[in-house]
């Protein structure tokens, strides 16, 4: 079991130590789950208050917080310090050395130095896997796939043909890269096309046939990208679907064909991005937001949770609502609704007088 002194931890998190006792720290936990060998993480007001009920003898606290009778490590950015501590105590998944006997590796595939291939993994023809990459059980790697160095793929990942993955990429359980895009065409204009043009549906399309448009592009993942469990990213129709370096994608995200996602983006769970969207750098898309196809979102934009984005927005926008509008406009809409309620309430109050006036005027 790992253990550290409070002096060692203070140096690691670049904190300020007030030492009352000098416990041996073997784990980290919230205050109410901490014992005398635990560093209590009191990052907010509730956790700080819970220190009075804790058995911990040491705590990580925000800058300026001191607790009488308790060893404290003060830090300016508590979540950043927590990240460093979690890395300190993190125990990585168990991986086998070399290639597991049950794995199927095509003779034409090229494996770099110190590569780990887990049970039942399939490596298809002409795949290239970089040095120090670890691939856990039941993963499928398609033909002509290129994977960089120091990648870590959890169990059950599926990677289609010709996908390109950079260095230091983490793929969690069930990630799918390179499935065909959701792309179809009809011989004659369909209901969607008619509705866009005429604003209504007039024609009888009961005999319409839907033809699949093949996807001959692929998916390209930049360096230092992390993709959460059961997220799917479809291949491009002709060009590649692209995810920029340092972008982090949560579980259960759907990214459609031909999309171009910039660098350093954060995409939260259950987001759906339709095909051919262009997303700038450092864009944050909060949970359950949906983006229509063929729109462009400028860099440094924030899309709030459940927003329904149907049009393009410039850089540094804050986008809210369904249909989504700039935050300032959304606040104006709320104020207008509130004003309308007040006006309606006044109208109801004076409505009897209005009726009496109309009756008298008609006599």
Q: What is the 3-state secondary structure (H, E, C) of 72-103?
A: EEEECCHHHHHHHHHHHHCCCCCCCCCECCCC
Q: Do residues 179 and 276 share a domain? A: yes
321 contacts 303 by C-beta, under 8 angstroms: no
Q: Do residues 185 and 137 share a domain? A: yes
Cβ contacts of residue 268 below 8 Å, gap of 6+?
250, 253, 284, 285, 286, 287, 289, 305
DSSP states of 18-43: E-S--PPB-EEE-GGG--TTEEEE--
Whether residue 97 is contained in a domain is answered as no
Q: Do residues 168 and 308 share a domain? A: yes
pLDDT band for position 356 (50/70/90)?
Answer: low
pLDDT in tens, 204-229: 777 888 999 999 999 999 999 999 99
Whether residue 134 is contained in a domain is answered as yes
Domain stops at, among 39, 56, 89: 89
Whether residue 99 is contained in a domain is answered as no
Q: Do residues 129 and 214 share a domain? A: yes
- pLDDT(85) > 90: yes
Domain stops at, among 33, 59, 89: 89
Q: Do residues 125 and 33 share a domain? A: no
pLDDT band for position 339 (50/70/90)?
Answer: low
| Catalytic residue (one of 154, 173, 257, 294) | 257
Q: Do residues 172 and 255 share a domain? A: yes
Q: Do residues 78 and 188 share a domain? A: no
Whether residue 360 is contained in a domain is answered as yes
pLDDT in tens, 168-208: 999 999 999 999 999 999 888 888 877 777 788 877 777 88
Whether residue 94 is contained in a domain is answered as no
Domain stops at, among 66, 89, 112: 89
The residue segments making up the domain with residue 195 are: 104-325
Answer yes or no: 154 catalytic.
no
pLDDT in tens, 240-260: 999 999 999 999 999 999 999
Q: Do residues 156 and 278 share a domain? A: yes
Mean pLDDT of the chain: 92
How many domains does the structure of the chain reveal?
3
């Amino acid at each position: 079991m790992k253990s550290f002194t409070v002096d060692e931890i203070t140096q690691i998190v670049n904190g300020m130590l007030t030492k009352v006792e000098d416990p041996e720290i073997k784990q980290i936990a919230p205050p109410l789950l901490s014992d005398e060998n635990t560093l209590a993480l009191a990052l907010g007001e509730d956790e700080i208050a819970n220190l009075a009920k804790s058995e911990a003898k040491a705590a990580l606290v925000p800058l300026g917080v001191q607790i009488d009778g308790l060893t404290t490590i003060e830090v300016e950015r508590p979540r950043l310090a927590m990240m460093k501590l979690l890395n300190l105590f993190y125990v990585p998944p168990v991986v086998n050395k070399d290639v597991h006997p049950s794995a199927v590796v095509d003779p034409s595939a090229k494996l770099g130095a110190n590569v780990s291939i887990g049970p039942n993994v399939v490596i298809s023809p002409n795949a290239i896997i970089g040095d120090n990459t670890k691939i856990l059980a039941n993963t499928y790697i398609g033909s002509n796939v290129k994977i960089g160095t120091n990648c870590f793929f959890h169990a059950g990942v599926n990677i289609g043909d010709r996908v390109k993955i950079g260095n230091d990429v983490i793929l969690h359980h069930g990630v799918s890269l390179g499935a065909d895009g959701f792309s179809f065409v009809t011989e004659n204009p369909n209901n969607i096309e008619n509705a866009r043009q005429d604003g209504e549906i007039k024609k009888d399309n009961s005999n319409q046939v839907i033809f699949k448009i093949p996807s001959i592009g692929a998916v390209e993942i930049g360096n230092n990208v992390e993709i959460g469990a059961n997220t799917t990213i479809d291949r491009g129709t002709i060009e590649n679907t692209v995810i920029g370096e340092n972008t982090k994608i949560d579980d259960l995200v759907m990214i459609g064909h031909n999309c171009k996602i910039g660098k350093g983006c954060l995409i939260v769970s259950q987001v759906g991005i339709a095909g051919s969207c262009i997303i700038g750098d450092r864009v944050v898309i909060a949970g359950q937001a949906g983006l229509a196809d063929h729109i462009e979102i400028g860099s440094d934009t924030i899309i709030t949770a459940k927003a329904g984005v149907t049009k393009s927005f410039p850089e540094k926008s804050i986008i809210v609502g369904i249909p989504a509008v700039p935050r300032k406009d959304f606040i104006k809409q709320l104020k207008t609704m509130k004003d309308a309620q007040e006006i309606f309430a006044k109208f109801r109050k004076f409505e009897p007088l209005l009726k009496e006036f109309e009756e008298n005027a008609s006599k």
